[in-house]
Amino acid sequence: MVSKNSAAAAIAREGLTVRPLTPADLASVVAIDAELAGRSRNAYFERRLAAARREPGMHLQLAVEEKGALAGYVLGRVLEGEFGRDQPELRLEVIGVKPAAQGRGLGAALGAALEKEARGRGLKEIRTMALWRAHALLRFLDRAGYRLARSHVLDCEANTDFEPQLRDEVHVGVMEQGDLEGIARVDRRLTGRDRRTYLARLVDEAFTDSAIRVSLTARVDGGIAGFVMARVDLGDFGRAEPVAVIDTVGVDPLRAREGIGRALLSQLFANLAALRVERVETVVAPGNLDLMAFFYRAGLRPSERLAFVKPLA
């Protein structure tokens, strides 16, 4: 485990400087990432930096300099209600150190700085995911004090054969910005909480921050009866191919057992297949057996990605 003291010692010993990431760093970040990933992901990092400018309170993005040159970066985003959470946490989205600078404590310095900033914002945990074969990243997370989370990561191929008849029986369409009130009403009935601020942010992100708009709503008698909030991106957690991530799904309890949830997933799968997005992923909180069963019926299964968490005591 990398202690705060050892990270601080590395910063002093190697003459490192950790500072906020800025738009001017984009080219350097993209170049380092291309060295690590073998391909350029300029659009992904451009969107993440733009998102941080729009909502700085929802992002933590840091750079580490060695001898005055940017040598590494870390991007984190605050989670509020995604995946059934009831308190804010930080999601570690991506971390990278240029190959020539690895092994000198730069990753540890970035991790320690990220944790310090997260604590300063009152966040209690950092969460991330990693492919079980990403051995270097797994070693880093182990040394940094992360442990396996209890959350279940599920994924599957976009299954166009899932309940195709429901696409004709239930009116499902692309989410519009004016749908927020109806979505918030359904969510209140489901959770007993007013999460309008969180939902408003998801709706806004669907129009400004996702590579492709894929969130959907279902309507019955002209009113919103269900929704699925999803996003497509390339880059989080070291992904090399686009994946659709389902953040939250809800069906009005007054419309339960009418096939609305299945219709939403069926249409989502069909839309993703048309866009050539081949995989769908979500995270289910431990103990949420109903939601787990819902996703299992749609074909989702345990992913090769593992969920990790680090408490910020």
Which pLDDT does position 181 carry in this prediction? 95
Half-sphere exposure of residue 129: CA atoms within 13 angstroms, side-chain side: 20
Q: Domain 4-123 classified CATH 3.30.70.1730?
A: no
Minimal CA–CA distance to 249: which of 204, 220, 290, 210? 290
3-state secondary structure of 268: helix
Instruction: Please give the distance of CA 174 from its chain centroid, rounded to a whole number.
Output: 21
Minimal CA–CA distance to 29: which of 98, 107, 112, 111? 98
183 Rama class: left (phi>0) / alpha (psi -120 to 50) / beta: alpha
Which pLDDT does position 240 carry in this prediction? 64
Pair of tokens at residue 123: 């966040």
Which pLDDT does position 237 carry in this prediction? 61
Longest C-alpha distance within the chain, in Å?
A: 67
Q: Is the dihedral of CA 75, 143, 151, 189 positive or negative?
A: negative
Which pLDDT does position 241 carry in this prediction? 76
- Gap between the Cα atoms of 232 and 215, Å rounded: 10
Which pLDDT does position 6 carry in this prediction? 55
Pair of tokens at residue 256: 């339960």
Element (H, E) at 204: helix 196-208
Is the distance from CB of 114 to CB of 92 less than 8 angstroms? yes
Is the distance from CB of 172 to CB of 263 less than 8 angstroms? yes
Going residue by residue through the chain, which has 313 residues, state the pLDDT in tens, using 9 for 90 and above.
555 555 555 555 567 999 999 999 999 999 999 999 888 889 889 989 999 999 999 999 999 999 999 999 999 999 875 555 567 899 999 999 999 999 999 999 999 999 999 999 999 999 999 999 999 999 999 999 999 999 999 999 988 889 989 888 999 999 998 999 999 999 999 989 888 888 888 888 777 766 677 999 999 999 999 999 998 876 666 666 788 999 889 999 999 999 999 999 999 999 999 888 889 999 998 889 999 999 999 999 999 999 999 999 7
pTM, 2 dp: 0.86
- Gap between the Cα atoms of 128 and 9, Å rounded: 25
69-79 and 89-97 beta bridge pairing:
antiparallel
CATH code given to domain 153-304:
3.40.630.30
Q: Report domain extents, the chain.
A: 4-123, 153-304
Please check whether the two domains, 4-123 and 153-304, share a CATH topology. Answer: yes
> Could you tell me the end-to-end alpha-carbon distance of the chain, in angstroms, rounded to an integer?
15
The secondary structure of the chain in percent helix, strand, coil, rounded to multiples of 5, reads 45, 30, 25
Which pLDDT does position 137 carry in this prediction? 93
Which pLDDT does position 29 carry in this prediction? 98
